[in-house]
Chain A
Amino acid sequence: MIRTIIINVLRFIVLVFIQVFLLKNITLYNLSTPYLYILFILLLPFETPNILLFPLAFILGLTIDAFYDTPGLHAAACVILALVRVMFINITVQKEGFDNEPEPTLSIMGFRWFFTYILVLTLFHHFFLFNLEVFNLSDIQFTLSRIVLSTLFTVFLILISGLLFYRRKERK
């Protein structure tokens, strides 16, 4: 329990640092911008109660907003992401049968589930993030291409980080 909390706090700090000081400066052809920090919400343990999950998502979003000068924008997208996460896990995962607080990582859940999970959630997050930022339907085509390409970039980074921390023996 304590270990899970420490790991998640560390993950929060490291991901915010990477996002703000490294990925913030990266854009491919004005189209593709990675938002790796959502990995924090994606990797919270399955048994995180909703009453904790939503405030965490909100706080994470506000922290990113503080550095991006966009108060509320990332917070809104993150809260939507948290809701999608709850629904997705409700549909696809049998909650009973797990012991010692499993996390939705690549090594525990296997590639197929993990890939669908991050792809769907990242798409939702980016869709709302970019549309809220632009707040205008006239350039929808441009916005959509930004969403799709950014999602690809983010999913790519998440998969890499999943492989980096891959531990075979935890696999069931």
Chain B
Amino acid sequence: MRNLLIFITKYNAFFLFLIFELSSIIIYVKYNSFQKASVINSSNEVTGRLYTQINGLYDYLSLKEVNDSLARENARLRNQQKSSFYIDTIARHKINDTVFKTQYEYIDAKVINNSTNHSYNYITINRGSKDGITVGMGVISGAGIVGKVINVTQHLANVQSMLNKDTRFSVMLANNREIGYIRWGDDLDPTKGMLMDVTNNAQPKLGEMVVTSGYSLFPQGIPVGRITNLHPKGGGISLNMEVTFSVDFSKLQYVDVVDYKFAKEQEGLEALQKKDD
């Protein structure tokens, strides 16, 4: 027993190393597979508040870009005034119509934390469960799709960015409506994504728009990006293409969270089908 104690004190560095290394690996493995539903992330109170304050400072630095994007957004809105169904200036916007039932609602939010240079990027926004945000909602910006809500607190929410190796969304080619899915590219470039699993019958062209398919969280036709390379490495049974995102993720400032009203219904229905299989 005494020899053991002497042994442990002599090599204390190694044992301390073992203890702390094991605990951090356990934390790492545990909280990264469980969708980050942990205390240690940026939607918790302290880090969230700090980010909000520092973000106030960053805002001044990018006023010009924000102005430009707002002007562009304004022009776009004026073009589609009649059907401007969803864009709103206040937190929520509802249309009471007896013929049309609101299918998508949009909640505007501001990005208070964002990264583009890791393998798994996340965005924190300043709206939470109090504003009606729940886990699983899609997030878009004026220019295109941004990501998906994965974690919500009262005032803040965590968004799994498009720039995340786990992110996949159902999309289609704008012209001939061939569907596939989009994921982030392999070389961590924040402007490039990969469009996967398009059938060989599709005849995509360089520069063609890629838009959302409407099969999942987003309404149909939200832009995703443009095809910039038809023959990246890989592929085989189906076509793969390189897509340049229409959203500039490094300058993301304001986003809209999409509340798909029938999400629960669709999920329930599709779960039934799975049970039958």
Q: A residues touching B (Cβ–Cβ < 8 Å)?
A: 21, 24, 27, 30, 33, 50-51, 53-55, 57-58, 61-62, 65-73, 75-76, 79-80, 82-83, 86-87, 132-134, 139, 142
Contact = CB atoms under 8 A, between A and B. Distances in A.
Contacts of A134: 119
A58 B23 contact: yes
Q: Which of B25, B27, B46, B186 gathers the greatest number of chain A CB atoms within 10 Å?
A: B27
Interface string B31-62: 11000101011101011000100100000000
Q: Which of B20, B26, B36, B42 gathers the greatest number of chain A CB atoms within 10 Å?
A: B20
Interface residues of B, number: 41
B17 interface: yes
B118 A68 contact: yes
Contacts of A30: 117, 187-190
Contacts of A57: 20
B47 to A, nearest CB: 5
B25 A72 contact: yes
Contacts of B158: 69
Interface in B110-144: 115-120, 122
B89 interface: no
B41 A71 contact: yes
B262 interface: no
Contacts of B117: 27, 30, 33
Contacts of B70: none
Interface of B: 12-14, 16-17, 19-21, 23-32, 36, 38, 40-42, 44, 46-47, 51, 54, 115-120, 122, 158, 186-190
B16 A50 contact: yes
Nearest to A61: B24
Main secondary structure on A side of the interface with B: helix
What 5 pairs across the A-B complex have the smallest Cβ distances?
A72-B28, A72-B27, A75-B24, A27-B117, A76-B24
Q: Which of A27, A30, A71, A139 gathers the greatest number of chain B CB atoms within 10 Å?
A: A71
A51 B150 CA distance: 38
Contacts of A33: 117
A1 B29 CA distance: 38
A53 B16 CA distance: 9
Contact of B28 (A55, A73, A86): A73
Contacts of A66: 40-42, 44, 46-47
Contacts of A133: 118-120
A71 B31 contact: yes
A162 to B, nearest CB: 25
Contacts of B13: 50, 54, 83, 86-87
Contacts of B28: 70-73, 75-76, 132
Contact of A51 (B16, B29, B54): B16
Nearest to A27: B117
A72 B24 contact: yes
B52 to A, nearest CB: 12
